[in-house]
Amino acid sequence: MGSSYSCETHGKTAMCRIKNDHKTYPIDGVITFHQCSPAHPVTVQFDLKGNPRSTHAIHIHQYGQSKNNTCKELGLHFNPYGMPHGSLKYHTPRHMGDLINNIHFDWKGNFKFEYNDELLNLYNSIEYSIIGRSIVIHAKEDDLGKGDNEESLISGNAGERIACAPIAWCENAHL
């Protein structure tokens, strides 16, 4: 995979490799987090495959592993600053784990997207760090906190957790 990073050989990189065996909602791919220095934003790169023309919520959840190996036991959205659930899209307060809220697979079943996330920082201390936590993908669409019920400001009413995997450190070179 090519890269648009201007600092490929320095900075910090973390990665999450997701592959589920869900019959209805197969998901496969990689999410990469790269940051050139503590003062730079974190670039988040999605390269995922799923059902064509489908939309699914995506978040960072609190925990990286669970005793029974299920996505259900990975806690809530990662939220070290105690904010309500929200979205970049509305510039409202949001969880650190809210990312872009949703992924949209195109007619070929691809989702390739890159953006800078101002809430993330790979140089953070452990309680504010996304390393060792999980990416969780849901069956439904995240309502961006606009769902007009209590759960909307907690989880975005995103429904069943269909795929999950931990975020871990990754070598910088050859992204």
Query: Residue 75 and residue 104: Cα distance in Å, rounded?
Result: 24
Closer by beta carbon to Zn ion, 95 or else 161: 95
DSSP classification of residue 83: P
**Residue 169: half-sphere exposure toward Cβ, Cα within 13 Å:** 6
Stretch that binds Zn ion, among 4-12, 78-86, 107-115, 166-174 (CB under 5 A): 78-86
Q: Looking at this protein, which amino acid is placed at residue 17?
A: R
136 binds, among Cu ion, Zn ion, none (CB under 5 to 8 A by kind): Cu ion
Query: Residue 69 and residue 56: Cα distance in Å, rounded?
Result: 21
Stretch that binds Cu ion, among 22-30, 37-45, 132-140, 164-172 (CB under 5 A): 132-140
Interaction pattern, residues 72-111, with Cu ion; x per rule: CB under 5 A: ----------------------------------------
Catalytic residues: 59, 61, 77, 85, 95, 98, 138, 161
Residues at the contact surface with Zn ion, assessed by CB under 5 A = 77, 85, 95, 98
